[in-house]
Amino acid sequence: MEYLYIKSLHIIFVTTWFAGLFYIIRLFIYLKEAEDKPAVVKNILSKQYLLMIKRLWYIITWPSALLASFFAAWLLYLQPAWLSAGWMHIKLGFVGLLYAYHWTCQLLYNQAQKGTIRYSAFALRIWNEVATIILFACVFLVVLKNTLGWIFGVAGIVGIAVLLMLGIQLYKKIRQKHNWDQTNDATS
């Protein structure tokens, strides 16, 4: 019974960790896009976004990352045989990548607090999808374990990545067309 409670808590905090990672990048995108607004609007939006970013990062995202890892370690303590399973080694590799992603978001957070994010909104949109790929990889590894053929698994993750990138490109084109139409409407 203890195992099921610990597993539930691990899943809950993994979910809130990913939610924080997904939303923090969206806030960075909004903050970056606010730079192009008139000064009064930019100042209001920037203050609000920075407050939201700080609260999300330190009240939800970091605590969730630490608690997800704590409960994961507890699960491994309860099920030490998992450490000899190939799928677990790969999953732990993806968790390492997730922490690297999280650390990169920390660097972006630090840039935002200094008033400048060095990446474009488009680059941030692409970066946001990296967490999606890691999420897909971890979930499929945990659920399917050894039944997942490695070739199909890798092909599936690459396919998802390609679809996400195509979706981002399509969104960029639609957004550019929409902005162009607004410019023409304003000059007409």
Annotated domain spans of the chain: 2-180
pTM comes to: 0.80
CA angle, corner 26, sides to 13 and 134, nearest 5? 50
Residue 4: predicted pLDDT: 95
Q: Pick from 92, 95, 120, 117: which is nearest to 106 by CA?
A: 117
Residue 188: predicted pLDDT: 45
Residue 170: predicted pLDDT: 83
Residue 3: predicted pLDDT: 93
Residue 104: predicted pLDDT: 97
pLDDT in tens, 140-177: 788 877 665 655 666 677 777 778 778 877 877 887 77
Residue 41: predicted pLDDT: 93
Residues in the chain, pLDDT under 50: 186-188
Residue 147: predicted pLDDT: 60
- CA 103, CA 176: separation in Å to the nearest integer? 31
pLDDT in tens, 162-171: 787 788 778 7
Q: Pick from 70, 71, 23, 30: which is nearest to 49 by CA?
A: 30
Which three-class secondary structure string do you get for the chain?
CHHHHHHHHHHHHHHHHHHHHHHHHHHHHHHHHHCCCCHHHHHHHHHHHHHHHHHHHHHHHHHHHHHHHHHHHHHHHHCHHHHHCHHHHHHHHHHHHHHHHHHHHHHHHHHHHCCCCCCCHHHHHHHHHHHHHHHHHHHHHHHHHHHCCHHHHHHHHHHHHHHHHHHHHHHHHHHHHHHHHHHHHHHC
- CA 118, CA 115: separation in Å to the nearest integer? 10
- CA 153, CA 87: separation in Å to the nearest integer? 11
